[in-house]
């Protein structure tokens, strides 16, 4: 989803063609918010200009599954946040520090501002530095991907 102008945007479920035992949820990963469309018809959020590729999810579950997994959905999404991933650049390097990220595999991708993937690798350490000297200086989007979720951050490389 691409937002061209900062404003309030509303997500709404206008028609629901599933049987009554299926629940629909909108997950806002950045705000760690779950909206139950069976209880409310919309979700409004103020969004800044930019591209939102991994922020919002729609989940359909049977009522019995939801009761069992209700808290698990949010906890899985919130496992990887700015509190446990530190991303920064110094000159022409990008450093990724993982702080208590419990995941078997952690991947990092780096994209330029046009969305082209320029680096993709499996992290083998809690402290990884990726040299960016072969790329132009500018803004990049760093994504840390685990089985617990995705955290992304913009960085400027000199």
CATH code (residue 89) = 2.60.40.3080
55 near 29, Cβ under 8 Å? yes
Instruction: Mark whether 55 and 100 lie in a shared domain.
Output: no
Instruction: Mark whether 89 and 64 lie in a shared domain.
Output: no
Specify whether the backbone of 130 is left (phi greater than 0), alpha (psi in -120 to 50) or beta. beta
13-52 pLDDT tens trace: 777 666 667 777 888 888 778 888 778 878 899 999 988 8
> What does pTM read for this prediction?
0.52
Provide CB contacts within 8 A for 116, sequence distance 6+: none
42-86 pLDDT tens trace: 889 999 998 888 788 887 776 545 445 544 544 444 467 777 899
Domain with 50, as residue range(s), is: 2-77
Last residue of one domain, picked from the residues 77, 102, 132: 77
Instruction: Mark whether 55 and 111 lie in a shared domain.
Output: no
Q: How far apart are CA 14 and CA 9, in angstroms?
A: 15
């Amino acid at each position: 989803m691409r937002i061209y102008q900062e404003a309030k945007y509303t997500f709404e479920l206008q028609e629901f063609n599933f049987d009554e035992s299926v629940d629909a949820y909108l997950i806002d990963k950045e705000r760690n918010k779950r909206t139950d469309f069976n209880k409310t018809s919309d979700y409004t959020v103020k969004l800044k200009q930019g591209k939102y590729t991994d922020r919002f999810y729609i989940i359909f579950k049977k009522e019995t599954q939801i009761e069992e997994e209700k808290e698990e959905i949010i906890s899985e999404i919130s496992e990887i946040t700015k509190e446990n991933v530190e991303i920064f650049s110094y000159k022409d390097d990008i450093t990724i520090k993982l702080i208590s990220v419990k995941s078997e595999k952690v991947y990092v991708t780096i994209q330029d501002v046009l969305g082209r993937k320029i680096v993709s690798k499996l992290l083998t350490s809690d402290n990884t530095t990726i040299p960016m000297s072969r790329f132009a200086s500018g803004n990049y989007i760093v994504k840390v991907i685990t089985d617990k979720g995705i955290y992304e951050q913009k960085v400027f490389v000199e």
